[in-house]
Each structure stands twice: as structure tokens, then as C-alpha cells.
Amino acid sequence: MIKRFFPVLLAFVLAFLDAAVAEETAIDYLALVNKLNPLPEGWEEALDIVSVTNSLGDEVKVERTAYEAYLQLKAALEGEDVHIDLDSAYRSVAEQEDIVVRFTAKYGEDYVRQYVAVPGYSEHHTGLALDLYLNIDGEDVYLNEDMVQYPEIWAKIHAALADYGFILRYLEGKEEITGYSYEPWHIRYVGPDAAKEIAERGITLEEYLINYDTFMTDLVKSYEEGTGTARIEADAAILNDDVAPAIVECWKKIYLDPEYKLNVYGTDDPAELDLYGVHAFVVLGFQLKDGEMTEELMGRCDAAAAAAKAFPDSILVCSGGATGDNNPEGHTEAGLMKDYLVEQCGIEADRIFIDEAAMTTAENAINTFRILREQGIETITIVTSSYHQRSGQTLYNSMAARYQKEYG
């Protein structure tokens, strides 16, 4: 009898997707906040806000770097006899609630659905979204219905945005992607490099940011947060291939179909596993307690070790970063798993490969495939606990689908 043998699930081998590594800053200037993505936690506490007064006498709050870039943009436009000012930028959730009430009374519910964000999901909460108004012949033009009467002026403004790190946030013809109708006055600071690429490609921030890495993360978040399929269907539309919609359908079956049978093996005899090809056992980590492995993680290792001994030509891949609140020495799940497999289970160290960076299940899946490809693995068995099966199978099946498309 094998101690603490946990269920495992079988998936196909996929390609590794290089995860983008963003430069660490106080805030992420590429943060995506829209109808499907709320303001990140802790954002407001990290903001460096400045307050200014516009020509109407209204106070406007804006993130400092974005404001400095705006001043450069404003000065450059004045050289072309184009005059702008800030109508609004940073708004708290309470302020957004007030705007919803006022705009509903003034423009109606249909207008608000198209143009005004739900509180908590407004890009204005970032402090990086700026609404502009015009000054023409010394007169302030700030009502939406009046500002749209000057397309030539907006064209000049839009042409200058990227040089100062701004993009036109809601493009005409991209309403299905952004969730909002065209707004010539709504610009967003993303930084010069990203702004220039977005402008050159004629795409939205969503299209710039959404890739298969973010798609996989959203697959898990959509289930954990109970938000349904809206976010992942939007991602699939942006990815615009024949694989992403198939992945969404797979997600629906695994998570929503009560009749769906997970591909799970729960047995004390690893030899019963129907394995083929060059094989790897991938052990998913579990949060450490006081910097050490829990019984649950040891159980996953015991299961993987027993299976690896039954298939001596296989390798083991352990995935998991430095987790847990009290972990002063920075122990990683993967590092501790390798030590346990070698010292307690008698597995040869050269059969064990580790990913010590993954902090989520999506990162487990993404990161392990660098190792799997390097080792020429053809099939894998995921070793995890029973409650983890659905997310694991969703992610690994998703990567399998993309691998098949890219590599055949």
C-alpha cells in the first residue's frame, strides 16, 4: 500500500509559452481595467496623485507620471494651436457611482451602458485615464455632444498621443472588444513604448495585453470568481483563432457539465496507469506552512514517487514557488518537493526537474512546459489533489490544444 496516494489526471504534452516578465513598478501602467476586469487590489494605496485645477475651476486628480506626460502633450499641441484641458482623471468608486446617477438622468440608461463604467470597473480609478475637453477661440467646449463636432481637432490630438505615452482608449469599430463606444476625449497613459506599438498596430489595450498566458489565468479566475464565461469569451474573440473558442467549450464542459467525467486515476497501484511515450509526472505544489511542506504536499510527492518507480524511464517535474506567509528563508514548494523525493522517497536527483517560480496553477502549467519541451516529453501525468482536478485538466488540455495547433 502506498501512503497518501492522491488522485492524478492525465493530459497531453503541450508547448511552453514564455511568460512575459513585467518590470516592477509601484503601479503597473499597463493594468487592464474594463467591464470584465476590476481595479487591482491595493491600487489606490500605491497611487501617487496630484491635484490640479482646470480652466473651469474644477479640481482634477491624476497620477503623477501621467500628469507630467499630459503637460508635455498639452505643450506640444499648443504649438499647433490646439488647446486642451483636463475634464477628469482619477475617480474614486463613490465618485463613479455619482457619475452613473447623473449621466443616467441626463443621457438615459442606454447611453450609460455604452459610455459609463460600473463602479469598481472604471478605468478612471487607475488615475491613468484622462478625459479631455477643448478650448476653441477662447471658449471652453466640454459637453460631449459639442466636442464630437470637431473631428479635425481630435485627429490632431490623437496623432500626437503616442509620443507622450498615451493611447486613444476606445477606438471606433472596436466596441465589441473594449465594451465602450468611441470616445475621442478619453485617453490612457501606458508609457511611450507600449503606446507607440499600440498606435502603429491600430489595436486596443485589450488586444495588446491578451495572449494565451493571460487567457489561461482567466480560465481559472472565471471559475474561482464565479463570473461565468464572459471574460474568457472576450479573450477568445481577441485571440481570434480556431483554438481559443474550442478551449472555452472545453472549459464549459469541465466546469459546467455535471455529467462530465474527469480523466482521473485513483489507485494504490501505479502500474495500472495506462501510460505511453516518453513520460513525465508533473507534481503541482501546495502552499507551504511556516516555510515547510504540509501533509497534503507530501502525499502528492509520495504518489508521484510510487508512480515514478513503477515507470523507471520517466522523469518528475515539480512546480511551485516560495509561498506561505511565514517563510523567511524563501523556501520553494518545488525545492522542498525535490529534497523530499530524493531523501525520503529514494528517487534519483537527476530524474527530478523543478520550476521554483510558479505562484498559481496557470503558472504551474505554463512554466513546466519549458522543462517538458527541453526533455522531449510526449505525455504527462499531473499529480494533484482531487479538488484541484478541474483547474488542472482545464489548463493542461488548453495548452495541449494550442501545442497541437502550433506544432502538429
Residue positions annotated with a catalytic role: 183
Q: How many angstroms separate the CA atoms of 288 and 324, rounded?
A: 5
Element housing 365 (H / E): helix 361-374
Angular region, 320: left φ>0, alpha ψ -120 to 50, beta rest: left
CA count, 13 A, side-chain hemisphere, 25:
12
Residues 6+ apart with CB under 8 A from 129: 89, 122, 123, 169, 186, 187, 188, 189
Q: How many angstroms separate the CA atoms of 280 and 46, rounded?
A: 42
User: Which cell numbers in the block locate residue 241?
Assistant: 483563432
Q: How many angstroms separate the CA atoms of 172 and 256, rounded?
A: 35
| Max Cα–Cα distance, the chain, nearest Å | 87
Q: How many angstroms separate the CA atoms of 185 and 131, rounded?
A: 5
Taken as a whole, the chain contains a residue count of 408
Tell me how far CA of residue 404 lies from CA of 30, 191, 369, 407, in angstroms: 31, 36, 14, 5
Q: Is the dihedral of CA 175, 176, 180, 181 positive or negative?
A: positive
Helices 243-256 and 212-224, packing angle to 10 deg: 20
Strands 84-88, 129-136: pairing kind: antiparallel
